[in-house]
Amino acid sequence: MNQYRHRDDCRLCGSTDLELVLPILPSPIGDAFVSQAELDQPQPLFPLDTYLCKACGHVQNLDIVDPEILFRNYTYRTSASMGLVDHFRKYAAHVVGTLGMQPGDLVVEIGSNDGSLLKAYRDHGLRVQGVDPARNIAAAASAEGIPTLPDFFTAAVAEQLVQQLGHARLMCANNVFAHADGIGDIVKGIRTLLAPDGAFVFEVSYIPDMIDGFVFDTIYHEHVSHHALIPLERFFNRLDLSLFDVERVPTKGGSIRGYAQPKSTGQRPQSARLLAMMAEEERRHITEPAIYRQFYQDIEARKQTVLAYIDAAKAAGKTVGVYGASTTATTLLYHFELEKRATMMFDDNPIKHGTYSPGAHIPVYPSEQLYTLRPDIVVIIAWQYSTPIMARHQRYMDEGGQFLVPLPSMQLHPQR
Ligand SMILES: [Zn+2]
């Protein structure tokens, strides 16, 4: 069964000089919550081993799950919320202003989904074109006036678009850039399609922020590249692109919005903040193994602290639940081996209620059932939201329950 394949070379530079720096434990597909009727179907675990390329410094996962399996389980995915539409409107206005886009300029978005971002660009008088492999979503976007090619973006697709539409003054890619295994061909296509004075804008999560914030749970099967600026700039340069600016974005535990242009024809100077962030990466030796080896040791120390507490409590007959039913929660659940210890899961999203967690099949309950099921300890695996969760469930603590926040270092509420 070829459910996943392992590649032996770096996704950015092709080197085979790779070191396994973060051996995150295997987990099932993080978002694959199942119904009662699906409980008899076993869910396999897939590797999350994370490697550093010692040639270019790129941090990546090399075990690529078959997209059929990865996306089959997306039944529960929700569409763009009102908040997201507002985010796109501000994002587009900001980019149009920053880059001096003119009415009639062409914008191409890779992974354009339902066209929400492109609609915002269209409102600025720009010509727009989406590319998205999800045929039904692409068709719906096209019907709403956002022309969308139902395909994966490749160098060949880029050639075709240049013939049909001319060159793009702006290209964007958000989730795709950290999620695509074939990033080399995508970037070749971007270079082909970009006008000589064009710009490419993308958002990716930022590995120095992952380390500083302990958000190693943003490593999951869809998310195969964990970017830093130095390896990315080396990669871009080989394909005649170059970064000229970067902004910090607070999503996903710390992300960056990068701006690149054709290296041979782009006129924009590299910004002071880009140079400062690259210098900081240099200072921290972000392309070398030591920082990741230390990060892994720090993760392991936290895991052992949490497990010592949980195992002592279980030995004393206490019951353990977890709070949070999401993709990142699955990574943490499995890496901390809590899937073997927790017997109930709580979440506030009604879509998850009555389902069972991926792989371990822990039942998911509404959080109100904290008061009827009364687990002695609840580990908040959605730990980035622990403050609002605990505020909402003060009564659980008042009635004798205890919350355990596992990261960035273990906290008990109340302390007892
Ligand atoms: Zn490399």
Per residue in 148-190, pLDDT (tens digit) is 999 999 999 999 999 999 999 999 998 788 888 999 999 999 9
How many Cβ atoms from other residues are within 10 Å of residue 416's Cβ? 6
Give me the pLDDT at residue 218, please.
Answer: 92
CA 260 to ligand 1 centroid distance, Å: 19
Rg of the chain on CA atoms, in Å: 23
CA 330 to ligand 1 centroid distance, Å: 28
CA 74 to ligand 1 centroid distance, Å: 31
**Closest by CA position to 176, among listed 110, 86, 257:** 110
What mean pLDDT do residues 302-329 have? 96
> Selecting from 3.40.50.720, 3.40.50.300, 1.10.10.10, 3.30.1300.10, what CATH number does the domain 306-413 have?
3.40.50.720
> What three-state secondary structure class fits 197?
strand
Q: What is the pLDDT of residues 16-40, one digit of tens each?
A: 999 999 999 999 999 899 999 999 9
CA 17 to ligand 1 centroid distance, Å: 8
Give me the pLDDT at residue 360, please.
Answer: 96
pLDDT score of 384 more than 80: yes
Structural fold of domain 82-287: Rossmann fold (3.40.50)
pLDDT score of 85 more than 90: no
> Where are the chain's structural domains?
4-68, 82-287, 306-413
Report percent pLDDT > 90 for the chain: 82
CA 36 to ligand 1 centroid distance, Å: 44
Q: What is the pLDDT of residues 229-271, one digit of tens each?
A: 999 999 999 999 999 999 998 877 789 999 999 999 999 999 9
Q: What is the DSSP letter of 81?
A: -
The pair of three-digit structure tokens given for residue 26, joined into one six-digit string: 């295997």
Task: Find the angle CA(306)-CA(311)-CA(315) to the nearest 5 degrees.
Answer: 155
Give me the pLDDT at residue 158, please.
Answer: 98
Report percent pLDDT > 70 for the chain: 97
Q: What is the pLDDT of residues 320-374, one digit of tens each?
A: 999 999 888 999 999 999 999 999 999 999 999 999 999 999 999 999 999 999 9
What mean pLDDT do residues 88-93 have? 90
Give me the pLDDT at residue 153, please.
Answer: 94
Give me the pLDDT at residue 251, please.
Answer: 77
In this chain, the answer to whether the domains covering 82-287 and 306-413 adopt an identical fold is: yes
What mean pLDDT do residues 116-121 have? 93
CA 196 to ligand 1 centroid distance, Å: 27
Give me the pLDDT at residue 137, please.
Answer: 84
Give me the pLDDT at residue 75, please.
Answer: 38
Residue 413 main-chain phi, psi, to 5 deg: -130, 115
pLDDT score of 78 more than 60: no
**Mean pLDDT, rounded, of the chain:** 93
Give me the pLDDT at residue 299, please.
Answer: 98
